[in-house]
Chain A
Amino acid sequence: MNLSQEATAKCEVSFTVNGETKKVFAHPMERLLDVLRNDLKLTGTKEGCGEGECGSCSVLLDGMLVNSCLVPMAQAKGARVVTIEGMSAHVLMRPLQEAFLECGGAQCGICTPGMILAAVHLLEKKLEPAPTDIREGLAGNLCRCTGYMQIFEAVTKVARRRVAK
């Protein structure tokens, strides 16, 4: 938060969050992450590093996987934002959640919402991701607990089950 931001008045920003239209008063440079967590009480989106390295704050913005700590509200204006809370109806969500539990993909859980969003995004792009696709597709989401192996296993399992159907 620098001086120029302080000088900028708050303004109304209208955008769609998890399918609902939301209007918030925010500084244009306020982080989408803070608006989601503080104004809209969507605390499933986590802050890990605040500089776009760890991916814990991942959300989908107009279908793209972004770090919400790097998105100013000015950019979110009019956008469609989906957080972990808005994913429950997604066809891949339940299988991924179950596979994460089955395989041990969630330990401390703080990276998990972001990791699952990244996994959904990856599986939407690739029907049958190769191991390198999974490694690269999730490389923007850091996990300090699992060593990633069990996360790869969970994602692979969901991809295989989907193809088998």
Chain B
Amino acid sequence: MTTSHIVGAAVPRKEGWDKVTGAACYVDDMVLPSMLYGATVRSKIARGKIKKISFDSNVNWNDFVIVTAKDIPGNNCIALITDDQPCLAAETVNHPEEPILLLAHSDRRKLRKAVEAVSIEYEPLPSVHTIEDSARKSTIIWGADNTFKSYLIEKGNVDAVWKEAAYIVEGEYFTGAQEQLYIENNGVIAAFDPENGVTVWGSLQCPYYVHKALMALCGLSENKVRVVQMETGGAFGGKEEYPSMIAGHAALLAIKSGKPVKIVYDRMEDMAATTKRHPSRTRHRTAVSEDGKILGGEIEFTIDGGAYATLSSVVLSRGTIHAGGPYYWPNVRIRTKAMATNTPPHGAFRGFGAPQSLFAMERHMDRIAQVVGISPVDIRRRNFLKLGQTTTTEQTIREDIDLDRLLGRALELSGYAAKKMRFAKENKNGSRKKGIGIAAFLHGAGFTGSGERYLNSLVGVEADAEGNVRVLVSSAEFGQGTNTVLCQIAAEALGLPYENVAIAQPDTTVVPNSGPTVASRTAMIVGKLVQSAAKGIQQTLRKSAFLKDDYTPEQFRTACREYIAGHGTLKCYARYEAPADVFWDDEKYRGEAYAAFAWAVYVAEVTVDLTTYSVTVDDFVALQEIGKVLHPVLAEGQITGGVAQAIGFALYEKVVWQNGRMINNQMTNYIMPTSADLPPIRVFFEELGNVHGAHGAKGIGELPMDGPAPAILSAVEDATGIHFCSIPLLPEDLFEAVRLDSLEQAVPSSARGTA
């Protein structure tokens, strides 16, 4: 057997050549014979009863396929967790842009006009649009109390700490909604025939989520629903749950018309109607000792879930567990809630609640530092989690993570100390103020708590008579490198060249359910299963005496041919087994929340221009410990991409709401960073290893979303002396705060905060 080092090498991206030649096939590139196009008639109001639907008599409606809730063969819901979200609103609407009726036609232009020619009369009902209004409960819009989910974490005795505290520090922090803004909009094609049932091809992250939702919606059995993932042009969580909705719509139109139906949203529809990051509010009240040690505290974290439950309970869970940051809390009480509002449901987006609660934690650490009178660096050093200590859920840190050293290295890489001194001196003059700021954080990889146990993922690896190996997983490629990394792992396990291993297109009739492509779980958890299944192939061949301990690719090929001649096929599966030492109590929210955490310290350097009120990030250092780097180029790309998206979250990307509707639903007025807006993003890795991950890998996809926003606001504070607590921080916010600051010159700016 050749000792290869495929894992850890920068092998070419499996589907890379198709992407750089324009040959890669996305769903909108696919056309089926006699295909129709579908469109959605949506609610124009936030909440109300549907009184009447009328059709403009100038349109020949016989030309159109029309579907309403009455046409749904199965249950009118998008099956996910709570099943409260209808596929098509029947009697009431609960948010703007809620789907009510579907149309299909062979001519896309006629379709657009037809959507406008359907009028819906409503009896409006009072609507709720903020976390505060929802919590007031004067209008109940969901369940008994507008609450999708709440969690309580209790560690130690918080009530006893206040009297010992030298300082009690309070703060309130806000994060806004954020659009995933994948460049390829949501899209699917559905086809139906009575014999085979429904087939859907789509841009999506989780083929089996769509499979489950279509079975319930169409009233079809498992083998009558087929879901195929096409090349997917970015997702970031935005194609985790929503594809079940659009696939359902296309399937209903296909069932009614008997023809294939394509629905591809345009940008405005995609931005207005599909999910975004949950807006959040966090309140901290912390007891701190004389020397800056956290004695205990209360954290209240609330997210706006939108009109239906969808994934809010899970997003809240991750936000809850990350709320204490990478710090040791001897005593803590964390109360969290996901509230209903009459906006389109907020959903999965890279980080999944953690960027929100970690933003608050990191901003609050800066505030504590200020109150205690020590530096942002020292407050963190004094409170970092250490080996043997426990997290807020009482998970013992068993790996030798030295956050103090990680922080030291990040400061060195960024030239922090020298810059901090220089900026303080230079900022005395001129209108361009410079600042440098830090954020320390952690990100749990894989599903929370017992989640992986419930997923019970299954992975397959097969070999053909030519010795070609194929990885069978439902884990989807949407840019992050799934195809490449899983093939690397299989090739390494089998001692074969990388070129001999391919990955099957995710198709529910071909691949087993390896779980959803979310939660930074693919490389770590699915990767480990791929490794086991590949080893299974090797063992099968060895047991059958077709393969010796040492072998060449040629001998492997011969062995496969001989085995298949006798047995027909050569395929091995591996199923997830929960590590024996992982314990989680769902009731008390206590125990091993994640099989592994990745750890990071980020440093941002900014210029705040007090003439234009713009903030520019000049340099960015991202240092993280991620277990093992499986592919250096892909790993770096995950970090730079995440940091860029998080810079947008901090400084550019503001969703403007009006009665629950996004009104800046265009790339023209919802601003994401361009190549001209970003600093050099300098990425550094440390590798401690992780016993639960493939080759020691931890998850990295979401990690880089957590740190940039607090690091940048910390840098803005260093530059201006203003403690901003809310993102996005736009020039108008800065202008307003600086104006207020100059009005209050009697008080030293360093002792004040701005919410």
Contacts and interface: CB of A to CB of B under 8 A. Distances in A.
17 contacts: A43-B28, A44-B21, A44-B22, A46-B26, A51-B666, A53-B666, A53-B667, A54-B667, A100-B20, A101-B12, A101-B20, A104-B636, A107-B637, A110-B26, A110-B182, A139-B675, A148-B678
A109 B479 contact: yes
Nearest to A150: B637
A88 B236 CA distance: 31
A145 B643 CA distance: 10
B309 to A, nearest CB: 27
A151 to B, nearest CB: 7
Interface string A81-113: 001110010000000110011111011111111
Nearest to A99: B20
A141 B667 CA distance: 12
Q: Is the interface of A mostly helix, strand, loop or mixed?
A: loop
Nearest to B184: A110
Most buried by B among A56, A100, A147: A147
B231 A145 contact: no
Contacts of A47: 28, 185, 266
Contacts of B231: 109
Given A49-B667, A150-B633, A116 B20 contact: yes
B755 interface: no
Nearest to B670: A53
B640 A101 contact: no
B392 interface: no
Given A51-B267, A144-B236, A111 B183 contact: yes
A143 B22 contact: no
B668 interface: yes
A53 to B, nearest CB: 4
A54 B666 CA distance: 11
A84 B22 contact: yes
Most chain A CB neighbours (cut-off 10 Å) among B234, B478, B680: B234
Given A109-B15, A110-B183, A49 B637 contact: no
A149 to B, nearest CB: 4
Contact of B637 (A84, A111, A144, A145): A145
A63 to B, nearest CB: 19
A135 B640 CA distance: 15
A48 interface: yes
B184 A108 contact: yes
A13 to B, nearest CB: 17
Contact of B675 (A44, A46, A101, A152): A152
Interface residues of A, number: 53
B637 A113 contact: no
Nearest to B113: A1
B90 interface: no
Contact of A106 (B16, B25, B180, B185): B16
Contacts of A146: 637, 640-641, 644
A50 interface: yes
A64 to B, nearest CB: 19
Interface string A9-50: 000000000000000000000000000010000011111111
Q: Which 6 A-B pairs have the closest CB atoms?
A: A44-B22, A110-B233, A109-B19, A108-B479, A147-B644, A107-B479
A78 B674 CA distance: 33
Given A97-B17, A110-B183, 4 more contacts: A104-B13, A107-B641, A142-B183, A144-B234
Contacts of A45: 22
B675 A48 contact: no
A143 to B, nearest CB: 7
A149 B680 contact: yes
A138 interface: yes
A140 to B, nearest CB: 8
Interface string B433-470: 00000000000000000000000000000000000000
Interface string B600-636: 0000000000000000000000000000000001101
B622 to A, nearest CB: 10
Interface string B671-696: 01111101011000000000000000
A44 B23 contact: yes
Interface in B194-239: 231-236
A157 B180 CA distance: 30
B231 to A, nearest CB: 7
B29 interface: yes
Nearest to B682: A149
B234 A110 contact: yes
